[in-house]
Amino acid sequence: MHQKVTHDSSQHHPDITIAATRYAQTRSPFSPFIIRFSTGNVKDKQAAEEITLFFKNEHQIDILFSNYRSSTFKCSSNEYDILLFVKDANSFTSLLDEEKWPPQIGSQYYTFPSSPTIPPQLSLIIKNVDFHTDINDFSSDLKTKFPEIINVIRLKNKFQQDIKIVKIELVSTSARDQILAAGKINVNYRSYDVEEYIAPARVLICSKCCGIGHFKRQCTQSNETCKTCGLSFPDLKQHVCSNLPNCIHCGGEHLSTVVSCPVVKQYRAALTKKLLLTTNYNSTSTVNCFKYDSVQFPQLNSSLNPSTAGSHNMILSKLNELATNMEKLNDNIFKITLCNEKFEKFMKDKIDSDKIIQQEINVLKHNDKALEVNQVQHELKLKRYENILVKLLMPMLDEMSKVVLLLNHDQHGRPLDPGLKTNFEIIRTKLKLALEGKDLS
């Protein structure tokens, strides 16, 4: 027995759970370095210690690992991977150069099955890059000036349209800090503003029901949901999947766990905004931190200052009022963001509609030009026929009428058809009227 699972995605305010927030904040900020062994039995801790010692002795670089583990996922038989998670950006950039790694680890040779992605801590954004700017030339100029830049990417909005923001990825923390400190970057005699790149938050998706915002151990569903077809079963191992993707969030033809799902994107955007607001609030509230010292600042005698308690209550009341107003302000900002998203969609639809109208206008212009060409050709043909009639047929008719009139007499000189001459004159007059465009009646 199975049932189709659907999650309500019509909420304008996604429920950002505490679990989703903690998941986004506690994930490793750096992609792991993966090394693959096909022989031996090298332990993950042993590999981390040997790499740290090698870089310290050979390159005088301190490599700091936050975690490491072994895995056989995506490995063939007799192969195993060791995933190494670094603690800071300097360790990450140092390990990016594969030439610096030790030739062997645990007396075993190894390979790199993949390279880690460049994290946001080594990325910047360049603002207001015109759409007419060739991104290849722009990238070449940037890499010539800053060899530490390895990737130049023009970003897109949620409608997959190019925007005027370009992301650059670097392999040097010092070069990134230098560019960020300057606040601007000059490319081809033009100055562009540079800011930090803030990556979207990672979305927590339940591995049991494919729902958003909770872990498997927190899941309230009794059945398991297939992430491919979206059907729910008491025992997923007995399920024979149709392999026809059907998202339980939006109903699209994709897996329910992909980050490209519109509902997941909406949730990720709301989660990112919440994290940014929380970060900004915490950083603001801790700028002027103060620790009370009762020795240096003893309490006043209540008899000398009877209004202390009242003042304290008034301050608490003001703080509560301020917190309430901040929550209202956050809600208003969120509503403005939603309105802005609706306006962006309206503008996208309008642009698409304008393109269709412009195509129809182009078709009408093409038809109008074709009609003008046909009209000119028709006028040329009429002119040609008029010339034939005036310069050829009319003189020919006059000559023929003379000959016929001469032959229209018997041997005694009497006309055989007295009205023949009149008929010729009538015909000639009608032809003349036709050429002049007058009525023949």
Enter the tokens of residue 111.
């390979």
Q: Which CATH class is domain 28-111?
A: alpha beta
- Two tokens, residue 43: 């332990």
The DSSP H or E segment spanning 168 is: strand 162-170
Q: Which residue has the tokens 């990737």?
A: 151
pLDDT tens for each residue of 340-353:
888 988 998 899 89
> Is the entire prediction scored with pTM above 0.85?
no
CB atoms within 10 A of CB 202: 16
* CA separation for the pair 413, 416 (Å, rounded): 9
With contact defined as beta carbons under 8 Å apart, do 160 and 80 qualify?
A: no
Class in CATH terms, 120-196? alpha beta
β-partners of residue 69 are: 83
The closest of 440, 435, 437 to 387, measured between CA atoms, is 435
Q: What is the pLDDT of residues 247-300, one digit of tens each?
A: 999 999 999 888 889 899 888 888 888 877 765 555 444 444 455 555 555 555
Check residue 195 and give its pLDDT: 94
Instruction: For the chain, report the end-to-end CA distance as a whole number of angstroms.
Output: 92
Q: d(Cα 36, Cα 110) in Å, to the nearest integer?
A: 5
Q: Name the stretches of the chain with pLDDT < 50.
A: 9-13, 283-289, 302, 304, 306
Q: Does 120-196 match 28-111 at the fold level?
A: yes
CA torsion angle 366 372 373 376 (round to 10) = 180
Q: What is the pLDDT of residue 104?
A: 96
Cα–Cα distance for residue pair 260/273, rounded to 1 Å: 18
CB 227 within 8 A of CB 259: no
Please report the DSSP string for 134-200 in residue order.
-HHHHHHHHHHH-TTEEEEEEEE-TTS-EEEEEEEEES-HHHHHHHHHH-EEEETTEEEEEEE--PP
Task: Write down the pLDDT at residue 143.
Answer: 95
Q: What is the largest CA-CA distance in the chain?
A: 162
Sequence spans of domains, the chain: 1-27+219-284, 28-111, 120-196, 377-436
CA distance 317 to 277: 23
